[in-house]
């Protein structure tokens, strides 16, 4: 078995790598009107295949052709999910989705709070099995109101967790009164849950079309304390929010075969490079579940009725269809506002609540802020990376690299570190890519797949050293493993 071992100590003054600039890459737009004569070829060796025609159309003849095509794709690529006919497939894609990100998304997107204290999370968690469980699955019908259903799902899950009761809140109230969207699409709509509060379904029933607001004619018994965002692609942060608050609303890309999902683990790459168009809720996870991409999947709650998927739910492989982006959660139970040290960070968030440390600096990442922690504890931590993936990690010191100083680094699944932005692109591992994209240190520069085995770790043996290790990581679809170690040393600069 081939095994390449390499240790690199990188010094900005001597590292033999080239820096460059990367143009912003946009998501591709899905062509809903691809007909039967334009279906992309099916090639088992092409892991970045075009998604093909979306499995959602009211034209039954065309739908049958698309269904057969996607059955062939699943068979050839050996994916671990199945297709099954359901009502959502017989509608237009715009009718069963509905995410529309505002032009000024910065002001609309929920703000990210400081990190919570480290917590021990189980390898498997399912909110449906906790306490009173979760409310029945809803159905948005032929209205692009996923944004209203996703917002309500997060609130209902929080109420189930903290009040130990199942409630049925009105999505029509959100649709008519929030000002955040219509049946033509919308965005997160937690504003009404702050004030005047959510309405009940029985008082404000769902019609599936836009209507005049009747807020003053119904009661508003449920309010939330606040709502917050999560860092994109931070799997552990999403798990922590589900574990504490019941559910996390996320955006995702619906394309290709996804509307026909009927069970198993959705592990296709078909939607990974398509723009997000749908809002759903994550209510659990399973780190041990196996699929083609490796291990680990989310439990996703959809709004297409119980006839879709696994009674309205799906298992989504980590890193699939942009499922870990734009995460939000709500705090239904009021937090303790105590701020013992008066540094502007409440005790529940503060990693050193006895001494002021507004920056929450924690060099050894042990959950105790440096202001309270006299001893630096060396550490190594695993990084969960899927195929063609990237994670941003703070260095804890300034690292000069070819004329620019960086305080963080991106750990990429393909064995290279980049500065300024990650490199999760799937193609063109050529010299040209090396010269023109993000500045990098390329200990390895190959098509590695950490989801298939091995480990990727980062750590700090001292406050001024940062180490990244790739241990026995296989190439995509091939035998053999690859190992490398990269050390960034502040003192050597």
Q: How far apart are CA 436 and CA 79, in angstroms?
A: 34
Q: How far apart are CA 363 and CA 431, in angstroms?
A: 36
Q: Which two tokens stand for residue 209?
A: 């079309």
Judge whether 278 counts as a catalytic residue: yes
Judge residue 73's burial from the number of C-beta atoms within 10 Å of its C-beta, 0-12 exposed, 13-18 middle, 19 or more buried.
buried
Q: Which two tokens stand for residue 431?
A: 């010299």
The C-alpha angle with vertex 255 and arms to 414 and 104, in degrees rounded to 5, equals: 80
The H or E element spanning position 156 is helix 146-163
- DSSP state at residue 354: T
**Which are the contacts of 346, defined by CB distance < 8 A and separation ≥ 6?**
335, 336, 337, 338, 339
**CA neighbor of 177 nearest in space, from 222, 212, 204:** 212
Judge whether 302 counts as a catalytic residue: yes
User: How crowded is residue 395: how many other Cβ atoms within 10 Å of its Cβ?
Assistant: 18
Catalytic one among 77, 143, 146, 352? 146
Cis omega (within 30 of 0) on the bond before 442? no
CA 80 to chain centre: 20
User: How crowded is residue 214: how many other Cβ atoms within 10 Å of its Cβ?
Assistant: 14
- DSSP state at residue 66: H
Catalytic one among 70, 77, 278, 291? 278
Q: Which two tokens stand for residue 265?
A: 């683990």
What are 297's strand-pairing partners? 286, 317
Q: How far apart are CA 183 and CA 308, in angstroms?
A: 20
User: How crowded is residue 437: how many other Cβ atoms within 10 Å of its Cβ?
Assistant: 20
DSSP 404-441: EEEEEEEEETTS-EESSS-----S--SHHHHHHSS-EE
Q: H-type helices in 16-91, by residue range?
A: 60-77
Judge whether 372 counts as a catalytic residue: no
Q: How far apart are CA 302 and CA 247, in angstroms?
A: 12
CA 90 to each of CA 51, 62, 274, 378, 487: distance values in angstroms, whole numbers, following the listed order? 18, 10, 21, 56, 54
- Residue entry with tokens 């995702």: 252
Q: Which two tokens stand for residue 44?
A: 């088992």
**CA neighbor of 109 nearest in space, from 233, 5, 253, 250:** 250
Catalytic one among 302, 326, 449, 482? 302
DSSP strand pairing (313-317 vs 325-331): unpaired
- Residue entry with tokens 């917050």: 228
Give the active site residues.
Answer: 146, 278, 302
């Amino acid at each position: 078995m081939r095994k390449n071992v390499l240790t690199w100590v990188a010094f900005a003054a001597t590292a033999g790598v080239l820096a460059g600039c990367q143009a912003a890459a946009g998501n591709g737009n899905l062509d809903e009107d691809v007909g039967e004569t334009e279906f992309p070829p099916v090639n088992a060796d092409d892991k970045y295949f075009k998604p093909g025609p979306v499995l959602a159309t009211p034209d039954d003849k065309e739908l049958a052709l698309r269904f057969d095509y996607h059955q062939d794709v699943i068979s050839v690529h050996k994916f671990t999910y199945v297709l099954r006919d359901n009502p959502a497939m017989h509608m237009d894609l715009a009718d069963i989705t509905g995410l529309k990100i505002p032009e000024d998304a910065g002001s609309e997107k929920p703000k990210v709070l400081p990190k919570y204290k480290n917590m021990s999370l189980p390898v498997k968690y399912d909110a449906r099995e906790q306490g009173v469980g979760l409310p029945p699955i809803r159905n948005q019908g032929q209205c692009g109101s996923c944004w209203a259903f996703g917002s309500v799902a997060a609130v209902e899950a929080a109420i189930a967790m903290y009040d130990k009761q199942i409630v049925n809140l009105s999505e029509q109230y959100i649709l008519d009164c929030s000002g955040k969207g219509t049946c033509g699409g919308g965005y997160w709509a937690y504003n009404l849950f702050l004030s005047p509060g959510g309405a009940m379904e029985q008082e404000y029933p769902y019609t599936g079309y836009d209507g005049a607001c009747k807020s003053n004619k119904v009661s508003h018994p449920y309010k939330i304390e606040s709502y917050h965002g999560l860092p994109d692609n931070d799997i552990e942060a999403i798990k922590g929010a589900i574990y504490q608050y019941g559910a996390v609303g996320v955006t995702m890309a619906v394309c290709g075969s996804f509307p026909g999902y009927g069970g198993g683990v959705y592990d296709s790459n078909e939607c990974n490079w398509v723009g997000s168009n749908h809002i759903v809720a994550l209510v659990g996870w399973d780190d041990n579940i196996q699929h083609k991409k490796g291990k680990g999947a989310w439990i996703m709650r959809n709004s297409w009725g119980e006839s879709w998927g696994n009674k309205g739910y799906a298992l989504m492989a980590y890193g699939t269809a942009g499922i870990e982006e734009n995460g939000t959660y709500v705090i239904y139970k009021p937090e303790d506002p105590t701020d013992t040290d008066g540094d502007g960070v409440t005790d529940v968030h503060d990693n050193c609540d006895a001494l002021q440390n507004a920056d929450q600096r924690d060099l050894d990442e042990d959950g105790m802020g440096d202001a309270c922690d006299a001893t630096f504890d060396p550490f190594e931590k695993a990084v969960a990376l899927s195929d063609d993936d990237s994670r941003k990690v703070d260095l804890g010191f300034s690292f000069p690299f070819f004329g620019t100083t960086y305080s963080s680094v991106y750990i990429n699944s393909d064995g290279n570190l980049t500065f300024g932005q990650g490199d999760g692109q799937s193609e063109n591992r050529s010299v040209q890519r090396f010269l023109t994209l993000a500045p990098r240190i390329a200990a390895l520069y190959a098509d590695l797949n950490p989801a298939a085995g091995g480990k990727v770790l980062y750590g700090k043996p001292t406050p001024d050293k940062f180490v990244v290790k790739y241990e026995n990581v296989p190439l995509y679809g091939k035998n053999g493993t690859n190992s490398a170690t990269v050390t960034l040393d502040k003192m050597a600069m």
